Amino acid sequence: MNFFEILALLGNGCLVSLSVFLLTLLFALPLGLLICFGRMARFRPLSVLFRFYISVMRGTPLMLQLFVVYYGPYYLFRIRLSELGSNWLFLAVIIGFTLNYAAYFAEIYRAGISAMSAGQYEAARVLGMTRSQTFFLIILPQVFRNILPALGNEIITLVKDTSIAFAIGLIEMFTRAKLLASEQVSLLPYLVAGCIYYFFNLAVSFTLSQAEKRLSRYRIK
């Protein structure tokens, strides 16, 4: 079996990995911002709660979190969501990845927001802008510009972490490559999968660099 035949056989797994990647980003980016607001809240009990959440999500393995999300409903509440089959399996992966990456994104957001000078808030207040207008129209675009490199590192890591979904049985690209390698008694499926991950990350890096150029107009000189 040659390179292109293996590439074709990995196609369905690629779509699953891509779906996990895109849906995780779709939910984790805004959720991370909400967690960041909770983490920075002046109401101390709320702030402590979100600090604890971030600490747990960052301090325990993603694989363990996937097991908890997938098997937790049964062991804790005797709810057999696993009977839903692949639907619950895929949903559990998305929930686990989203909760994990939202914690990392929240800390990146917090670092970006904390780095903004107080003078910008004061200038916006003098101009008669509300707090929400100041944040979403002035602060947030600059924050995204400043945190994009750090955010990009996490997004690239997410591309590779999609392979962890195999731990609870989701058939994504790495799992398909593993099955093919066992059938063919060959490393070629792993090499093909590695090439796909690599070029996928190249595309992500290019997209992020273009976004960074577009946001450069928000740079304070």
Provide the domain count of the chain: 1
Comparing 183 with 38, the larger pLDDT belongs to 38
pLDDT at 217: 61
Residues 140-160 pLDDT 10s = 888 888 898 899 999 999 999
CB of 95 within 8 A of CB of 50?
no
103 falls in which pLDDT band (50, 70, 90)?
A: very high
pTM above 0.85, yes or no: yes
Give the CATH number of the domain where residue 80 resides. Answer: 1.10.3720.10
pLDDT at 218: 52
> What average pLDDT score do residues 62-75 get?
90
pLDDT at 86: 60
Tell me, what amino acid is at 68? V
Residues 27-67 pLDDT 10s = 999 999 999 999 999 899 999 999 999 999 999 999 999 99
CB of 78 within 8 A of CB of 9?
no
DSSP code for 135: I
Residue reference for tokens 């559990």: 92
DSSP code for 105: H
pLDDT value at 83 more than 70:
no
127 falls in which pLDDT band (50, 70, 90)?
A: confident
Q: Name the residue among 116, 108, 112 with its Cα closest to residue 134.
A: 116
Q: Name the residue among 100, 108, 116 with its Cα closest to residue 147.
A: 108
pLDDT at 126: 80
pLDDT at 26: 96
Share of the chain above pLDDT 90, in %: 52
pLDDT value at 85 more than 70:
no
Query: Which residue range forms the structural domain that includes residue 14?
Result: 3-218
